[in-house]
């Protein structure tokens, strides 16, 4: 399936003419780090790859001349003819060597071309595209008037890994750099990516995409990723969207996450889900992958599930239409809108002949120790910045007034599972109930009298 040419021109306009590598049948997907290891074990391949690295380094400084570009293309084609796995290899999101893998993946694509948007750098062949874990958790996210985002946050707190990594990114995104009023956005982005990559999706994506029916819930959802640091400028100014995209293209992770988003959230009117790949789960995962990059999107208000980039098209000149198209990939994307809505209504998924696999057990089941108290860890109590601090404080007061406590989890005697998460307003497991003892005592009394 070929993406619209207009999107090609928008995103990957290269400084050099495109020349596709020539090899007849691409090999099966392999890890790029492994493909690179095999190449470096072969001296001729190692020499060709080293030459390609020099071409990439020169191209980063300034556009290559015609002769230099031609020599780089020839060298790359010779390399890929002998080791085509370097072109067909993929990476795994969140793995320890992800950055090294992506550097290799983009290294052989130093000449940007239209076909870059057709594929994602990430290997989704082993991914459950029907998102069984999200199906299980989203089935409890019914729009019943309760604050589903509060419940999702409490469910996250019940799982030690989710709670600790959530506290880690909140602290990183709210802590000010000494001597300034600014946060360290780089550390904030890194901590956000760690949370989304290492916490199971039934928790991380449940917090991001919890459905809301009121502004109180919507405000909690909007502030989940700490907007004041994760993407907003301290002065509240918005950058040009094309400038943001240009910076994104210079960084391997951001470039990869945006390519993954364009690939997995491509809209189509031919499928019931509105997605070309017909997988809301893959689109949600790809959207979440952008959080923690310069292209971090978020909800535009506390009264809707509409999302957007924090940028505008002022100063775009004759590229104004291109800038508008980039914005509309988030604001007017049927696939993305339907995927977010699906989290609150999993029954809206299109019928599929293949039944989804059984939901994986929640990591809570695998925990050997139970929580020893009924409060979140102390590091969850953070100090927000200026106006945002006042707003959050007000939200907490309103939630307490509604009869619930903010991020307070009651004691429980059973390990929580996906099937009981969100079963009550507190997000804890439902207490066991026993039958009344009085009828049994009365029966014994009657029997003793009759025997007497």
Do both 98 and 176 map to the same domain? no
For residue 380, is it within any domain?
no
Do both 134 and 239 map to the same domain? yes
3-state secondary structure of 355: coil
Do both 43 and 179 map to the same domain? no
Q: H-type helices in 265-367, by residue range?
A: 280-290, 320-331, 334-342
**What Cα–Cα distance (Å) separates residue 309 from each residue in 121, 231, 245, 282, 290?**
22, 9, 11, 20, 10
Q: H-type helices in 111-266, by residue range?
A: 132-138, 148-158, 160-174, 185-198, 201-208, 215-222, 227-230, 241-249, 252-264
Domain extent at residue 211: 124-342
CA angle 359, 362, 367 (to 5 degrees): 150
> pLDDT tens digits for 124-156?
876 654 455 555 555 555 545 678 999 999 999
Do both 164 and 257 map to the same domain? yes
Q: At which of 309, 342, 375 does a domain end? A: 342
Number of domains in the chain: 2
Do both 234 and 100 map to the same domain? no
For residue 91, is it within any domain?
yes
Residue bearing tokens 């060597």: 97
Using CA atoms, how far apart are residues 139 and 118, in angstroms rounded to an integer?
A: 32
For residue 438, is it within any domain?
no
Q: At which of 109, 144, 162 does a domain end? A: 109
Do both 235 and 178 map to the same domain? yes
Do both 309 and 334 map to the same domain? yes
Do both 76 and 203 map to the same domain? no
Do both 99 and 157 map to the same domain? no
For residue 25, is it within any domain?
no
Looking at residue 127, what is its pLDDT? 61
Looking at residue 398, what is its pLDDT? 42
- Crossing angle of helices 215-222 and 148-158, rounded to 10°: 50
Do both 193 and 141 map to the same domain? yes
Using CA atoms, how far apart are residues 381 and 157, in angstroms rounded to an integer?
A: 12
CATH number for 131: 1.10.220.110
* Structural element, H or E, at residue 309: strand 307-309
pLDDT < 70: residue spans in the chain: 1-29, 111-118, 126-145, 344-452
């Amino acid at each position: 399936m070929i993406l619209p040419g207009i999107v090609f021109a928008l995103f990957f306009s290269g400084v050099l003419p495109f020349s596709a590598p020539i090899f007849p049948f691409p090999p099966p997907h392999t890890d790029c780090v492994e493909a690179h290891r095999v190449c470096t074990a072969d001296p001729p391949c190692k020499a060709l790859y080293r030459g390609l690295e020099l071409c990439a380094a020169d191209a980063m400084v300034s556009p290559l001349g015609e002769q230099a570009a031609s020599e780089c293309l020839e060298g790359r084609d010779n390399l890929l003819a002998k080791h085509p796995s370097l072109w067909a290899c993929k990476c795994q999101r969140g793995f320890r060597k992800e950055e090294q893998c992506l550097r290799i993946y983009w290294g052989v694509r130093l000449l940007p071309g239209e076909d870059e948007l057709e594929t994602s750098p990430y290997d989704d062949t082993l991914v459950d595209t029907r998102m069984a874990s999200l199906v299980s958790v989203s089935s409890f996210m019914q729009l019943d008037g309760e604050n589903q985002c509060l419940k999702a946050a409490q469910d996250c707190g019940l799982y030690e890994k989710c709670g600790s990594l959530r506290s880690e990114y909140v602290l990183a995104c709210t802590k000010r750099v000494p001597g300034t009023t600014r946060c360290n956005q780089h550390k904030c982005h890194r901590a956000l990516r760690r949370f989304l990559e290492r916490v199971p999706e039934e928790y991380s994506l449940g917090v991001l995409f919890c459905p809301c029916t009121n502004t109180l819930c919507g405000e909690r959802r909007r502030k989940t990723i700490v907007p004041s640091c994760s993407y907003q400028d301290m002065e509240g100014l918005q950058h040009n969207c094309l400038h943001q995209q240009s910076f994104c293209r210079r960084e391997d992770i951001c470039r990869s996450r945006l390519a993954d988003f364009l690939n997995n959230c491509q809209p189509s009117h031919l499928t019931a889900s509105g997605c070309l790949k017909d997988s809301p789960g893959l689109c949600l995962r790809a959207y979440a992958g952008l959080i923690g990059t310069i292209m971090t999107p978020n909800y535009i208000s506390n009264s809707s599930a509409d999302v957007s980039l924090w940028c505008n098209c002022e100063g775009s000149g004759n590229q104004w239409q291109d800038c508008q198209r980039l914005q509309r990939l988030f604001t007017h994307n049927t696939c993305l809108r339907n995927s977010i809505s699906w989290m609150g209504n999993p029954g809206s998924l299109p019928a599929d002949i293949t039944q989804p696999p059984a939901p994986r057990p929640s990591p809570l089941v695998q925990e050997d120790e139970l929580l020893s108290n009924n409060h979140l860890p102390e590091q969850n109590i953070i100090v927000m910045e200026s106006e945002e601090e006042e707003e959050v404080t007000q939200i907490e007061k309103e939630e307490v007034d509604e009869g619930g406590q903010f991020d307070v989890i009651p004691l429980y005697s059973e390990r929580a599972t996906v099937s009981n998460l969100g079963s009550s307003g507190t997000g804890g497991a439902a207490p066991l109930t026993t039958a009344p003892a009085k009828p049994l005592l009365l029966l014994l009394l009657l029997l003793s009298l009759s025997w007497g």
